Chain A
Amino acid sequence: MFINFEENRPIFLQIAEMLEDSILSGAYAEESQIPSITDFAVACKINPATALKGVNLLVEDGLLYKKRGLGMFVSAGARQKIIKRRMDDFYLSYIMPLLAEAERLGVERGQIQEMIERGYADHGN
Chain B
Amino acid sequence: MAIELCGVSKRFKETLALDQVNVSFDEAKIYGLLGNNGAGKTTLMNIVANRLYADQGQVLIDGEPVADLDRALSKVYLLGEKNLYGEDMRVKKALAAAAHFYPDFELKRALAMAKQFGLNIRKKIGSLSTGYASIFKLIIALNVNTPYLLLDEPVLGLDAQHRDSFYKLLLQKYAERPCTIVISTHLIAEVANLIEHTVIIRDGRILENRPTEELLAVGYTISGPAAAVDDYIAGKSLLSQSALGGLKTACLTGRPQTPLPDSLELGKLNLQDYFIQLMNREEHDNG
Q: Give A contacts to B, CB under 8 Å.
A: 5, 7-11, 37-38, 41-50, 100
Contact = CB atoms under 8 A, between A and B. Distances in A.
Size bin of chain B's contact surface? 10 to 19
A38 B171 contact: yes
B176 A47 contact: no
B8 interface: no
B193 A47 contact: yes
A45 B171 contact: yes
Contacts of B174: 48
Interface stretch (B77-85, B230-238, B242-250, B264-272): B264-272
Nearest to B169: A42
Contacts, number: 46
B195 interface: yes
Contacts of A47: 30, 171, 193-196
Interface of B: 30, 164, 167-168, 171-172, 174-176, 193-196, 213, 262, 266-268, 270
Tell which of A9, A43, A47 has the most Cβ of chain B within 10 Å: A47
Contact of B268 (A9, A38, A43, A49): A9
A47 B193 CA distance: 6
Top 7 A-B residue pairs of the complex, sorted by shortest distance between their CB atoms: A38-B175, A46-B193, A42-B171, A42-B168, A45-B167, A41-B171, A8-B267
B194 A38 contact: no
B266 A38 contact: no
Given A42-B175, A45-B167, A45-B168, A8 B194 contact: no
A50 B213 CA distance: 10
11 contacts: A9-B268, A38-B175, A41-B175, A45-B167, A45-B168, A45-B171, A46-B194, A47-B171, A47-B193, A47-B196, A50-B193
